Protein backbone atom coordinates (compact mmCIF):
# COMPACT_ATOMS: atom_id res chain seq x y z
CA UNK A 1 0.00 0.00 0.00
CA UNK A 2 1.41 3.29 -1.07
CA UNK A 3 1.75 6.00 1.44
CA UNK A 4 1.14 9.53 0.33
CA UNK A 5 2.92 12.35 2.00
CA UNK A 6 1.52 15.75 2.08
CA UNK A 7 4.10 18.51 1.55
CA UNK A 8 3.70 21.73 3.40
CA UNK A 9 3.47 24.90 1.35
CA UNK A 10 6.61 26.89 2.14
CA UNK A 11 5.97 29.81 -0.19
CA UNK A 12 7.74 30.64 -3.42
CA UNK A 13 10.72 28.58 -4.42
CA UNK A 14 13.86 30.54 -5.21
CA UNK A 15 14.69 30.18 -8.86
CA UNK A 16 18.39 30.01 -9.84
CA UNK A 17 19.53 32.91 -12.01
CA UNK A 18 22.81 33.52 -13.76
CA UNK A 19 24.30 30.32 -12.46
CA UNK A 20 23.67 31.14 -8.79
CA UNK A 21 22.31 28.22 -6.90
CA UNK A 22 19.46 28.69 -4.45
CA UNK A 23 21.77 27.83 -1.58
CA UNK A 24 24.69 29.69 -3.22
CA UNK A 25 26.44 33.01 -2.91
CA UNK A 26 26.46 36.27 -4.83
CA UNK A 27 27.66 39.54 -3.38
CA UNK A 28 26.36 40.71 -0.09
CA UNK A 29 25.71 44.38 0.52
CA UNK A 30 28.90 44.70 2.58
CA UNK A 31 31.01 43.14 -0.16
CA UNK A 32 29.50 45.47 -2.73
CA UNK A 33 30.24 48.53 -0.59
CA UNK A 34 33.85 47.41 -0.07
CA UNK A 35 34.31 46.92 -3.83
CA UNK A 36 32.85 50.37 -4.57
CA UNK A 37 35.13 51.93 -1.93
CA UNK A 38 38.24 50.34 -3.44
CA UNK A 39 37.21 51.47 -6.92
CA UNK A 40 36.58 55.03 -5.67
CA UNK A 41 39.98 55.24 -3.97
CA UNK A 42 41.66 54.03 -7.18
CA UNK A 43 39.87 56.68 -9.25
CA UNK A 44 40.81 59.41 -6.75
CA UNK A 45 44.46 58.36 -6.98
CA UNK A 46 44.39 58.59 -10.77
CA UNK A 47 42.71 62.01 -10.65
CA UNK A 48 45.31 63.24 -8.15
CA UNK A 49 48.14 62.16 -10.48
CA UNK A 50 46.45 63.88 -13.44
CA UNK A 51 45.96 67.13 -11.47
CA UNK A 52 49.60 67.08 -10.40
CA UNK A 53 50.72 66.50 -13.99
CA UNK A 54 48.64 69.46 -15.24
CA UNK A 55 50.13 71.70 -12.53
CA UNK A 56 53.68 70.63 -13.39
CA UNK A 57 53.05 71.19 -17.10
CA UNK A 58 51.72 74.69 -16.45
CA UNK A 59 54.72 75.51 -14.26
CA UNK A 60 57.16 74.26 -16.91
CA UNK A 61 55.41 76.30 -19.61
CA UNK A 62 55.48 79.49 -17.52
CA UNK A 63 59.12 78.89 -16.60
CA UNK A 64 60.08 78.62 -20.29
CA UNK A 65 58.12 81.77 -21.20
CA UNK A 66 59.64 83.64 -18.24
CA UNK A 67 63.12 82.63 -19.37
CA UNK A 68 62.50 83.81 -22.91
CA UNK A 69 61.12 87.15 -21.70
CA UNK A 70 64.11 87.67 -19.39
CA UNK A 71 66.51 86.87 -22.24
CA UNK A 72 64.65 89.32 -24.45
CA UNK A 73 65.30 92.01 -21.84
CA UNK A 74 69.03 91.22 -21.93
CA UNK A 75 69.12 91.32 -25.74
CA UNK A 76 67.24 94.60 -25.81
CA UNK A 77 69.76 96.28 -23.51
CA UNK A 78 72.64 94.82 -25.50
CA UNK A 79 71.10 96.28 -28.65
CA UNK A 80 70.94 99.71 -27.01
CA UNK A 81 74.65 99.46 -26.17
CA UNK A 82 75.54 98.43 -29.72
CA UNK A 83 73.54 101.26 -31.27
CA UNK A 84 75.11 103.81 -28.96
CA UNK A 85 78.63 102.65 -29.71
CA UNK A 86 78.29 102.05 -33.45
CA UNK A 87 76.04 104.80 -34.75
CA UNK A 88 77.06 108.37 -34.12
CA UNK A 89 73.69 109.46 -35.52
CA UNK A 90 72.23 108.57 -32.12
CA UNK A 91 74.39 111.32 -30.63
CA UNK A 92 75.58 108.99 -27.91
CA UNK A 93 78.46 106.66 -27.05
CA UNK A 94 79.60 104.24 -24.35
CA UNK A 95 79.90 107.14 -21.91
CA UNK A 96 76.37 108.25 -22.66
CA UNK A 97 75.12 104.67 -22.39
CA UNK A 98 76.58 104.22 -18.92
CA UNK A 99 76.00 107.69 -17.46
CA UNK A 100 73.29 109.75 -19.13
CA UNK A 101 70.99 107.35 -20.94
CA UNK A 102 67.53 106.48 -19.67
CA UNK A 103 68.85 102.97 -18.96
CA UNK A 104 71.70 104.39 -16.84
CA UNK A 105 69.11 105.66 -14.34
CA UNK A 106 67.72 102.13 -13.91
CA UNK A 107 69.32 100.60 -10.80
CA UNK A 108 68.58 97.70 -8.47
CA UNK A 109 66.60 100.08 -6.29
CA UNK A 110 64.95 101.82 -9.21
CA UNK A 111 64.07 99.18 -11.77
CA UNK A 112 62.68 99.94 -15.22
CA UNK A 113 60.40 98.54 -17.85
CA UNK A 114 60.78 99.16 -21.55
CA UNK A 115 58.75 99.35 -24.71
CA UNK A 116 59.86 96.72 -27.19
CA UNK A 117 57.99 98.54 -29.96
CA UNK A 118 60.07 101.69 -29.48
CA UNK A 119 63.79 101.07 -30.00
CA UNK A 120 64.97 104.61 -29.26
CA UNK A 121 67.01 104.89 -26.11
CA UNK A 122 65.64 108.22 -24.92
CA UNK A 123 62.02 107.12 -24.67
CA UNK A 124 62.03 103.32 -24.41
CA UNK A 125 62.89 102.88 -20.71
CA UNK A 126 60.53 103.97 -17.96
CA UNK A 127 60.50 103.61 -14.20
CA UNK A 128 58.40 100.86 -12.67
CA UNK A 129 56.78 103.13 -10.13
CA UNK A 130 54.08 100.55 -9.62
CA UNK A 131 54.89 96.91 -10.37
CA UNK A 132 51.24 96.06 -10.82
CA UNK A 133 50.92 98.65 -13.59
CA UNK A 134 54.25 99.93 -14.87
CA UNK A 135 56.01 96.67 -15.62
CA UNK A 136 53.13 94.42 -16.63
CA UNK A 137 53.37 92.59 -19.94
CA UNK A 138 50.36 92.23 -22.21
CA UNK A 139 49.84 89.55 -24.83
CA UNK A 140 48.53 90.44 -28.28
CA UNK A 141 48.66 88.04 -31.24
CA UNK A 142 51.44 86.04 -29.59
CA UNK A 143 53.58 89.13 -28.90
CA UNK A 144 54.32 90.51 -25.42
CA UNK A 145 54.30 94.28 -25.01
CA UNK A 146 53.97 96.94 -22.30
CA UNK A 147 50.71 98.56 -23.43
CA UNK A 148 47.38 97.63 -21.87
CA UNK A 149 45.74 99.01 -25.02
CA UNK A 150 47.45 96.26 -27.04
CA UNK A 151 46.36 92.93 -25.62
CA UNK A 152 45.33 91.24 -22.40
CA UNK A 153 47.27 90.85 -19.16
CA UNK A 154 49.72 87.94 -19.55
CA UNK A 155 50.41 87.57 -15.84
CA UNK A 156 54.10 88.40 -16.32
CA UNK A 157 56.01 91.51 -15.25
CA UNK A 158 59.52 92.38 -16.47
CA UNK A 159 62.06 94.74 -14.88
CA UNK A 160 65.54 95.62 -16.08
CA UNK A 161 68.42 97.53 -14.53
CA UNK A 162 72.15 98.14 -14.85
CA UNK A 163 75.15 98.31 -12.50
CA UNK A 164 78.34 100.03 -13.63
CA UNK A 165 81.45 98.07 -12.72
CA UNK A 166 84.29 100.23 -11.27
CA UNK A 167 86.68 101.21 -14.04
CA UNK A 168 83.96 102.44 -16.37
CA UNK A 169 84.48 99.94 -19.21
CA UNK A 170 82.12 97.24 -17.99
CA UNK A 171 78.50 97.10 -16.86
CA UNK A 172 76.36 94.29 -15.49
CA UNK A 173 72.81 94.23 -16.80
CA UNK A 174 69.89 92.40 -15.22
CA UNK A 175 66.50 91.27 -16.49
CA UNK A 176 63.91 89.95 -14.04
CA UNK A 177 60.56 88.38 -14.91
CA UNK A 178 57.93 87.68 -12.24
CA UNK A 179 54.66 85.78 -12.36
CA UNK A 180 52.23 84.10 -9.96
CA UNK A 181 52.38 80.32 -9.69
CA UNK A 182 49.70 78.72 -7.54
CA UNK A 183 49.50 80.56 -4.25
CA UNK A 184 52.94 82.17 -4.50
CA UNK A 185 55.12 84.31 -6.72
CA UNK A 186 57.90 82.94 -8.94
CA UNK A 187 60.64 84.81 -10.76
CA UNK A 188 63.65 84.31 -12.97
CA UNK A 189 66.61 86.71 -13.19
CA UNK A 190 69.16 86.76 -16.01
CA UNK A 191 72.33 88.83 -15.93
CA UNK A 192 75.19 89.50 -18.30
CA UNK A 193 78.26 91.72 -18.44
CA UNK A 194 78.65 94.17 -21.32
CA UNK A 195 82.00 95.73 -22.23
CA UNK A 196 83.07 98.93 -23.90
CA UNK A 197 84.30 98.02 -27.36
CA UNK A 198 83.85 101.54 -28.69
CA UNK A 199 86.39 102.19 -31.49
CA UNK A 200 89.04 104.57 -30.30
CA UNK A 201 89.24 107.82 -32.25
pLDDT in tens, 2-60: 555 555 555 545 555 555 555 555 668 787 888 888 888 888 878 777 777 777 788 88
Question: Is 121 a residue whose pLDDT tops 70?
Answer: no
Of the candidates 124, 122, 100, the one whose C-alpha atom is nearest the C-alpha of residue 112 is 124
Please classify residue 171 by burial: count the beta carbons closer than 10 Å to its beta carbon, then call 0-12 exposed, 13-18 middle and 19+ buried: buried
Phi, psi for 69 (deg, rounded to 5)? -65, -40
- Model confidence at 175, pLDDT cuts 50, 70, 90, reads very high
Number of H helices, E strands in the chain: 3, 7
Secondary structure class of 63 (helix, strand, coil): helix
pLDDT of residue 87: 73
Query: pTM to 2 decimals?
Result: 0.69
Helix segments in 89-165, DSSP class H: 94-99, 121-124
The residue that leads in pLDDT, 199 or 32, is 32
Phi, psi at 36, each rounded to 5°: -65, -40
Given this model, what pLDDT does residue 118 score? 60
Residue pair 160/175 in contact (Cβ under 8 Å)? The answer is yes
Query: What is the pLDDT at residue 64?
Result: 93
Q: Which residue has the higher pLDDT, 76 or 92?
A: 76
Count of positions (residues) in the chain: 201
Residue 22: the pLDDT is 52
Amino acid sequence: MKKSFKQKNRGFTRTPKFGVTPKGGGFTLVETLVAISIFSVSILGILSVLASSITNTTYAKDKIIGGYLAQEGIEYMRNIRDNDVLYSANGSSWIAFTTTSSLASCTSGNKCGFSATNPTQTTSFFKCTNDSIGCKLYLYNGVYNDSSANGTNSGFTRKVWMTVIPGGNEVQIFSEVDWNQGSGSTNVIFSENLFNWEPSS
